Amino acid sequence: MILRLAFLIFILLPITLVGLPIQMVIVAAGWRFWPVLPRIFFKLFAFGLGLKITCIGAPVKGRPVLLVSNHISWLDIPAIAASADVTFVSKAEVAKWPVIGFMAGLARTIFVDRTRRTDTKRTNERMSERLAEGGAVLLFAEGTSDVGTHVRPFRSALLGAAQATLSEGAGEPVLVQPMAIGYTALNSLPIGRAERGRVAWVGDMGVTDNLVAILSSGRTDITIAFADPLPPDLDRKAAAERAEATVRRMLVAINRRRPLP
């Protein structure tokens, strides 16, 4: 734990302080290579946290794509951002959370204020810009996090709203691609339900408590799996049900360390 904390403080923090103003200039200028520095940051951050990330598949290229995934921990953000060029969609409150809000901002997360109907135009513009750059947009379709043993029902209204917004900005139907993330081992030992509380972020656990638990847990093995995109002619309810079933099957396979279905 001490070595990891030293890495984060004495190596990653200085790099972040130097790179942050550079990244702000890159984003303000609208240059398309903006993901480079965040990707480096998240790879270093994942290394400092002791994350070993395995990716199976990748986001669809060359088409507007909405990734829909289960959600387990704030660790999902650095793990995914270190592995794929995606833009997260999140509720506006996340931007104010310590550490997590900062990380989400680096990944150019699109924060949606659900209490303001006037925020729709800004959200649409941000999503349109991202799709025009050829990147994928990721939505945690459960609307909350879970311990990682099962998948909560996907919220069809949330998925449908994101689809409609993205399609409007892209000018063509947006593909929905299921994605699953699972935590399979701690310190090289298979993770059981009792140990999942050390990585999952549920209930009233604080960020600091969760971070201490992670830093003291040894290496954390994470698998991120991408399925084939769904048929484009599905309505939002059918798409949510199909995506949920697909993610559930993938998560079961990941947790049991079996080949994906």
Nearest to 185 by CA among 38, 50, 13: 50
Contact between 182 and 148 under an 8 Å Cβ cutoff? The reply is yes
On whether residue 260 sits in a domain, the answer given is no
For residue 250, the domain's CATH number is 3.40.1130
Confidence grade of residue 95 (pLDDT, cut at 50, 70, 90): confident
Q: Is the pLDDT of residue 245 over 90?
A: yes
Mean pLDDT, rounded, for 187-216: 76
Q: Flag whether 24 is in a domain.
A: yes
Mean of all residue pLDDT scores within the chain:
84
Tokens of 60: 């669809």
- Let me know if residue 261 belongs to a domain: no
What average pLDDT does this structure show over 95-109? 76
pLDDT at 168: 63
Kind plus residue range of the DSSP H or E element containing 215: helix 207-215
**How many domains does the chain fold into?**
1
178 backbone φψ class: left, alpha, beta (φ>0; ψ -120 to 50): beta
Label residue 203 by pLDDT band (50, 70, 90): low
**112-152 per-position pLDDT tens digit:** 776 666 666 666 677 767 766 666 889 888 877 778 888 99
> For 120, how many CA atoms within 13 A lie in the half-sphere containing its CB?
7
Could you tell me if 178 and 260 are in contact, meaning their C-beta atoms sit under 8 angstroms apart?
Answer: no
Rounded CA gap, 250 and 238, in Å? 18
What residue type is 13 in one-letter code?
A: L
Domain ranges, residue 85: 2-255
Question: Beta strand pairing status for 110-112 and 86-91?
Answer: parallel
For 46-87, the pLDDT digits (tens) are 999 999 999 999 999 888 888 999 999 888 989 999 999 888
219 is a domain residue:
yes
- pLDDT, residue 202, reads 64
